[in-house]
Structure 1
Amino acid sequence: MTIEAIQEGDPSEHFSMFSSQTAKIKYSYNKIREVKSHRVGELFSAYRDILWDDGRHKYNVSSFIGEIDEILLGERFSAFDQSTLDNLIGTLRQRGNSNATINRKMAALSKLLRKAYKMGDIHSLPEFRRQKERAGRIRFLERSEEAQLFAAIKSRSEDAYRLSVFLVDTGCRLGEALGLIWNDIQEHRVSFWITKSGRSRTIPMTERVKEVIKLPPSEGRRPKGPFTKLSQAQFRAIWNDAKAEVGLGADDQVVPHILRHTCASRLVQGGIDIRRVQMWLGHQTLSMTMRYAHLATNDLDGCVVVLETPRGEGPSVESSAFASPLTTVSAAAPTKKGEAASKPAKAPRKSSKAK
């Protein structure tokens, strides 16, 4: 707008326009200035019940945020800049965290900071870059390792032994087992309602599981569930002592979660198809279950048989680790009593015309 245009117009209009612009600038300045500084732990306390459902995942997130707050030395901030995030990731890597673990911790932090930004608690967000993950070898227990480890656990705690058997035969997560109540066990089946994937599932019990969920006779009130007398910390302490006794103390992959891997591996190696393994474990996506697919090595032998069989002489359908659980083999139609199993082919009819 030129000076001449301003001079020709109504002075009151120009004053109103400049006053409005000044008010907007002042409001924006005050909005930034009034943003308070917060600790990561304080933000988590404010929004954890809004962002995360109760369960094992929320427990893990609480641990992640607690570690992040400790690394940041409880620093208060109103803007979480990129250098702070990069230093945080560097510290986690120095502590031995894998890229996969760092990604899980950063996912929790990102979710929390986005909520804080939306609510006006902070006024800037860093760029979260996903760390490249490598597909590592999945460790599972051999039968002999299981026997030795479980014997050492049983010598320390009968309850911890019962829980270990339950975990390896159901493949459930530790938090799912500890949260079970008696109403979750009906008709030789167990239901998991609060799960990491957010979906419930019901699976049948093995004979071993049926035995270990029976509490030994004792005086006093019956506990709320089969494993509620144990806490995660207590079980992990017993586990670590037992694995050190049997010579597995140096193997950092031998943690309670290995029992879930062991269950999945045995199902796949036993010929159970991937879809049913997914349903058994409660995986949200099939890609999570496909980590175990390489264990079905014998399944590839059937491919050679199919390729080497002449067309029209295909082999009978066999179970496959990749088959659909709805796939069934059609049975041959039963023959009538006295009817031959196979009839000889009829000779072609001769022509009635004489040559």
Structure 2
Amino acid sequence: MTNEAIQEGAPSDHFSMFSSQNAKIKYSYNKIREVKSYKVGELFSAYRDILWDDGRHKYNVSSFIGEIDEILLGERFSAFDQSTLDNLIGTLRQRGNSNATINRKMAALSKLLRKAHKMGDIHSLPEFRRQKERAGRIRFIERDEEAQLFAAIKRRSEDAYRLSVFLVDTGCRLGEALGLIWNDIQEHRVSFWITKSGRSRTIPLTARTKEVIKLPVTEGRRPKGPFTKLSQAQFRAIWNDAKAEVGLGADEQVVPHILRHTCASRLVQGGIDIRRVQMWLGHQTLSMTMRYAHLATNDLDGCVVVLETPRCNGSEAESPLSSAEPRSEPVAAKASSKAPRKNSKSA
């Protein structure tokens, strides 16, 4: 191509195509876009309704993102680097956040930034590493505590009492119970469609659960479901009043979610295997259910028998699982003992 031809051609003609004997490369300028900067709060406003369903979890995420935006002083960014993330985690730890709490907040931030990166709003992401969490003690209520607490709840609200019984016998989450409609209850089973994991499940009902889902005959329009008369805020207020009355007001772990822990604990202690407990509770992974595995103490009773077996003459006694019958002589040995000896002279 001559200099004259280059001067006469348009700039797009100069660089749109480079040809050689073995290669052809095309350049396009149509996808170039301006790099802008955003605050974390602005990204959340743009994508919150896409990434999170309405409910308590979305409310918690909103609080997490608001705190993160406050720590970052509303700074705008086009790339979220590793040092920014490390400083953020350090600040949360200085504020007294546990590793478990930090993980929940970082999970929300990671989900938001990955969406922004995919949409081209930011052009780089840091590496999110999960903080090591300690296995905390799981609190559950005993039978006598349940009787006292539920009686106090019943004195305040019959609907709240019915809901409490349903929660402890099904192990469902509070939001799952409040979202039930009558079509979700068929004969002796209940189906949960609106769940945290997004997976539906169906479980059988206990005798007393069948009773508490029955509404008393009253005049007026029938509610949409067995517990739709209550809201989460109303139930929690009744719960806290009853909890204080029975002397549990100072126990921060005695919240409505303790009824889910109690149901899981009773299943495991009753000999139900972990896999079935996972299906009953609707846990997404088995590791979540393994928090209750230590309660299955009956599985270890056989170990005590082995440890308490006395030692005889300095050697270990036979295992209690071994057979008490004398060992039989090998077949080959028996056959050889019965075989007649050959006469040496008849060789």
Normalising by structure 2, report the TM-score.
0.75
Give the structure 2 partner of residue 31 of structure 1.
34
CA contact (8 A) 2:64 2:105 kept: no
Give the structure 1 partner of residue 320 of structure 2.
309
3-state SS of the aligned residue for 2:202?
strand
Give the structure 2 partner of residue 43 of structure 1.
43
3-state SS of the aligned residue for 1:126?
coil
3-state SS of the aligned residue for 2:191?
strand
Counting aligned pairs with the same residue, the percent is 78
Give the structure 1 partner of residue 66 of structure 2.
69
CA deviation after TM superposition for structure 1 residue 142, in Å: 1.2
3-state SS of the aligned residue for 1:202?
strand
Distance 1:253 1:20, change over 3 A: farther
The letter of the residue matching 2:107 is: A
The letter of the residue matching 1:66 is: S
Give the structure 2 partner of residue 224 of structure 1.
224
CA contact (8 A) 1:213 1:226 kept: yes
CA deviation after TM superposition for structure 1 residue 12, in Å: 6.1
Which whole-Å deviations, capped at 9, do the CAs of 1:46-82 have from their partners, x for residues lacking one? 3334334x47xx6314322333214523826233344
Take 1:235 and 1:76, find their aligned partners in 2: how far apart are those partners?
40
Give the structure 2 partner of residue 257 of structure 1.
257
Give the structure 2 partner of residue 288 of structure 1.
288
Q: Does residue 1:143 correspond to 2:128, yes or no?
A: no
The letter of the residue matching 1:31 is: E
Q: How does 1:182-193 map to 2 (within 5 A)?
A: 182-193=182-193
CA contact (8 A) 1:176 1:195 kept: yes
Which whole-Å deviations, capped at 9, do the CAs of 1:92-148 have from their partners, x for residues lacking one? 445543211221221121011110111122233333221111111111111122122
CA deviation after TM superposition for structure 1 residue 262, in Å: 0.5
Distance 1:27 1:199, change over 3 A: closer
Take 2:126 and 2:248, find their aligned partners in 1: how far apart are those partners?
41
CA contact (8 A) 1:72 1:88 kept: no
Distance 1:124 1:269, change over 3 A: same
Distance 1:98 1:218, change over 3 A: farther
The letter of the residue matching 1:69 is: G
Which whole-Å deviations, capped at 9, do the CAs of 1:215-243 have from their partners, x for residues lacking one? 22333211111111111222222222222
Take 1:50 and 1:281, find their aligned partners in 2: how far apart are those partners?
27
CA contact (8 A) 1:81 1:126 kept: yes
Give the structure 2 partner of residue 275 of structure 1.
275
3-state SS of the aligned residue for 2:230?
coil
3-state SS of the aligned residue for 2:34?
helix
**Gapped runs of 5+ residues in structure 1?**
1-7, 315-350
CA contact (8 A) 2:44 2:65 kept: no
Take 1:75 and 1:90, find their aligned partners in 2: how far apart are those partners?
18
Which whole-Å deviations, capped at 9, do the CAs of 1:22-62 have from their partners, x for residues lacking one? xx9x9999622xx252442x43343334334x47xx63143
CA contact (8 A) 1:78 1:121 kept: no
Take 1:223 and 1:64, find their aligned partners in 2: how far apart are those partners?
31
The letter of the residue matching 2:279 is: M
- Say how many residue pairs are matched: 300
Q: How does 1:81-230 map to 2 (within 5 A)?
A: 81-230=81-230
CA contact (8 A) 1:264 1:281 kept: yes
3-state SS of the aligned residue for 1:133?
coil
CA deviation after TM superposition for structure 1 residue 84, in Å: 4.4
Normalising by structure 1, report the TM-score.
0.73
The letter of the residue matching 1:311 is: S
Distance 1:70 1:305, change over 3 A: closer
Distance 1:310 1:69, change over 3 A: closer
The letter of the residue matching 2:34 is: K
The letter of the residue matching 1:289 is: T
Distance 1:66 1:241, change over 3 A: same
Take 1:44 and 1:135, find their aligned partners in 2: how far apart are those partners?
31
Take 1:140 and 1:236, find their aligned partners in 2: how far apart are those partners?
17
Distance 1:186 1:90, change over 3 A: same
Take 1:262 and 1:281, find their aligned partners in 2: how far apart are those partners?
11
The more displaced of 144-153 and 158-167 is: 144-153
Distance 1:254 1:93, change over 3 A: farther
* Backbone CA RMSD of aligned residues: 3.3
Distance 1:186 1:29, change over 3 A: closer
Take 1:121 and 1:164, find their aligned partners in 2: how far apart are those partners?
46
CA deviation after TM superposition for structure 1 residue 290, in Å: 1.4
Distance 1:276 1:147, change over 3 A: same
CA contact (8 A) 1:38 1:121 kept: no
CA contact (8 A) 2:140 2:262 kept: yes
Take 1:71 and 1:136, find their aligned partners in 2: how far apart are those partners?
26
